[in-house]
């Protein structure tokens, strides 16, 4: 903080006081010089302190939002899954995109084999997956919404 800032601010306050005093006298309002001087001094001090508190002297209305990125986590498998989900949700044509459906199927098959020793083609596997998930995995390729993807993943987690 440079002390000459306050010198310039005091001079600006004197100029403001003189202009206000002259305008009020011309308006024939009979101003109280002491109160007006105190008001101008308080305004100069408050504005000077606010300006000194700002890093560059001017307010910045741009806010930088920092969101943690899954891609920077270092887990390549998680990054691939996030890419598959983002590509599915942002793609324009979903009629022939089976990537998400295939990944859900592979994940369901992996869980079924590890926990129950059956595949998703096995009748017991179909029963464990439930009708909703089986319909997604065996039906035609279509766009899945975020809530439907969440239901499928939740069902696979519950196995």
Q: What is the pLDDT of residues 38-83, one digit of tens each?
A: 999 999 999 988 888 776 656 567 777 676 665 566 677 777 877 7
| Whether the model pTM is above 0.75 | no
Q: Which residues contact 100 (CB under 8 A, 6 or more apart)?
A: 84, 85, 88, 144, 149
Question: pLDDT tens-digit profile of 105-138?
Answer: 888 888 888 888 888 888 888 888 888 888 888 8
> Cα-flanking dihedrals φ and ψ of residue 48, to 5°?
-65, -40
pLDDT for 59: 58
Confidence band for 14, pLDDT divided at 50, 70 and 90 = very high
Angle of the 146-158 helix axis to the 131-138 helix axis, nearest 10? 120
Report domain extents, the chain.
4-53, 84-158
């Amino acid at each position: 903080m440079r002390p000459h800032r306050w010198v310039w601010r005091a001079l600006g306050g004197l100029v403001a006081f003189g202009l206000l005093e002259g305008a009020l006298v011309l308006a024939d309002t009979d101003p109280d010089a002491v109160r007006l001087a105190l008001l101008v001094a308080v305004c100069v001090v408050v504005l000077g302190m606010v300006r000194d508190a700002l890093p560059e002297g001017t307010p910045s209305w741009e806010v930088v939002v920092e969101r943690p990125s899954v891609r920077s986590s270092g887990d390549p498998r998680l990054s691939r899954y996030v890419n598959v989900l983002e590509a599915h949700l942002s793609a324009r044509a979903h009629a022939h995109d089976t990537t998400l459906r295939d990944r859900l199927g592979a994940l369901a098959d992996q869980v079924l084999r590890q926990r129950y020793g059956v595949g998703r083609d096995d009748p017991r596997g179909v029963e464990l997956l439930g009708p909703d998930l089986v319909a997604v995995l065996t039906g035609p390729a279509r766009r899945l919404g975020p809530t439907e993807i969440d239901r499928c993943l939740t069902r696979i987690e519950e196995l």
